[in-house]
Structure 1
Amino acid sequence: MVDLPGYDDRGPDDLDGPGLARNGSELLNRAGFWAAHLGPALDADLDEELAEMFDEQLDAIRSTYEELTDPAGWPVFPIDAGGGAQLAVVYRNFEEDEGIDFLLSNGPGERYVRIAVIEGALEGPGISWAELTSIADRQGDRLERARTLLLLTPMLGDQEAATPTARDRLREALAVVGVTGDLATIADGLVTASPTRWSSTDEGSTVCEHPGSTRNPASHVALTPTDLRSVCQVLQPSGTQEAAGQLRFADLEKMDTRPIGNGRVPPSAWS
């Protein structure tokens, strides 16, 4: 089992139990894993087109997806964010409330904060391209850097990611983890899935303009100011400063606060 302080992973039939979260790292090498994990972010159906894109057998993708979404256990993919901080990608497998939760803890024993949700009731984007690559670069070797980049990419949304450099980095990561399909199409779909703008507040927090992001202080799913600051401190690329001309805190009132639309594939489409 995996302990995630502050995160409720108990099933409805065992509210006093130890929880359903389990380490899913063994699934990373399973045939079809990356197609199953990245498919929803590509707005793709679980069909032969997806299998061809990833050069995988459709049965293998379906088998891995079924294991990822098995209500009997919630696979967790922990990621070291440095300085004791942790990220976790959790397949939340409630039978009528499925989704992938992206969590962050500021240190050992600290509670986990949910910064994005994919599928079901969407909350995101949760990370910018600069932050995503920064977390990946903190990993110890080439394989872990590639895995981290791809595990977290589904919560990416950033208009600055639609660049040749970003596409090249994603193609390289896909190759490193063993994907042999149409890497260019996959990379392009990932960087253009949720284009949005990020900016800095006067307090130094990095915020997202998208109305459905937990990191948009004007959103109905916004993090508390304290949690936002903690998240930004962990994700902040070291030695970088936001470019001039970005939005300031006073501009947050102008941000779009309409409910987020369902731009991803709902779980029912992958049943």
Structure 2
Amino acid sequence: MALTVHVPEYLEDCELVAGEDLAREPAFWLAHLLLTVGDPGEDPERYGVDASVYEEMVERISNPEEPWPVLRVPFEGGHTAYVVYANFDDANNVDFFVRHPAWGRLGYLGQFGVDEAGPGLSWSELDILAEATQNSSEGLTDSSQRLLLLLPMLGDAEIPREARGIVAQALTLCGIRSDAADELATVLVGEQGPGSEPHWTVTADNPIAVCSSSYSPRHIPLALGITPSQAQALADALNGRG
């Protein structure tokens, strides 16, 4: 039986359970990515995932009659990124947020579903969170899994050339067929070029980078309202200085 996950600042009247066991299944990674930033109509077989197994996984992570699966990425300074499959009777969302037990609030990265919002991470932040030192006995420890879990929140005009190769390698390591991983990685990372958006900048008022996209929860500083020392600690963790 999956362990209950308690997030006191999250929605009331919902039951959350640890979903890290899903990470063992290639079908989960394909479903997670296609249902958020990919094409849900893609044939899973071309990625090496049996269609019936894929359909069972989609049902498993979107069933409103079951507790909501939660996957976690602990990182520096006692922070944790959460991904919640929020399955209401009439809608399915995937919520991304960051939490620290001392904040008393959540820092929202974004959402896929009825009210989509994002992006929530720059490439450098995503890369740092994927490789961050594991400071907890809970959550994902594998860097490829951590990268793919948070990848839907990526939005950055300054993604390095090597990003697609890094994502393709992560896909392969998580069970996606290698000859299809490069093409999928290109779709997931997106295209950059002159005039691309969004951009990430740090202002004089807060050490946490903000996003130029008005659709991003990070158009204002992440976890706005935490103390200056907490904001600095979060900024340090997101920049690999924690």
- Per the normalisation by structure 1, the TM-score is 0.74
Is 1:237 matched up with 2:235? no
Q: Give % identity.
A: 26
Match of 1:202 in 2: 204
Query: After the TM superposition, which residues 46-61 of structure 1 pair with which residues of structure 2 at under 5 Å, given as runs?
Result: 46-48=41-43, 50-52=44-46, 54-61=47-54
Q: What is the aligned length? A: 224
Say whether 1:23 aligns with 2:18. yes
User: Partners in 2 of 1:97 and 1:228 — Cα distance?
Assistant: 35
Where does the alignment leave 5 or more consecutive residues of structure 2 unmatched? 135-139
Q: Which residue of 1 aligns with 2:216?
A: 213
1:138-165, Cα deviation, whole Å (9 max, x unpaired): 145x97111100000011111112x321
Q: 1:101 to 1:197 in 2, by over 3 A?
A: same
* Residue 73 of structure 2 is aligned to residue 69 of structure 1: no
Q: For residues 59-138 of structure 1, what are the structure 2 equivalents within 5 Å?
A: 59-71=52-64, 72-107=66-101, 110-138=104-132
SS of 1:83 mapped into structure 2: helix
SS in 2 for 1:125: coil
Give the AA of the match of 2:25.
R
State the distance in 2 between where 1:22 and 1:225 align. 27
What's the Cα RMSD here? Answer: 2.7
Provide the residue aligned with 2:153 in structure 1. 155
Counterpart check, 1:6 vs 2:5: no
Cα deviation, residue 186, structure 1: 1.3
1:175 aligns with 2:172: yes
1:166 and 1:227 map into 2 onto residues whose CA distance is: 32
- Distance (Å, rounded) in 2 between the aligned partners of 1:37 and 1:192: 17
Q: Is the 8 A contact 2:26 2:176 kept in 1?
A: no
Distance 2:150 2:26 in 1: 19
Cα 1:60/1:193, change in 2 over 3 Å: farther
Q: Give ranges in structure 1 of 5+ residues lacking alignment.
A: 11-18, 241-271
SS at match of 2:218: coil
User: Alpha carbons of 1:157 and 1:119: their partners in 2 closer, same or farther (altered >3 Å)?
Assistant: same
Amino acid in structure 1 at the alignment position of 2:60? E
Pair 211,193 (structure 1): closer, same or farther in 2 beyond 3 Å: farther
> Could you tell me the TM-score, scaled by structure 2's length?
0.82
Could you tell me whether the CA contact under 8 Å between 1:85 and 1:108 is conserved in 2?
A: no
Q: Is the 8 A contact 1:215 1:228 kept in 2?
A: no
Q: Which runs of 4+ in 1 moved over 6 A?
A: none
Give the aligned partner of residue 164 of structure 1: 161
Alignment CA distance shift 1:134-1:153 (3 Å): same
Partner in structure 1 of residue 137 of structure 2: none
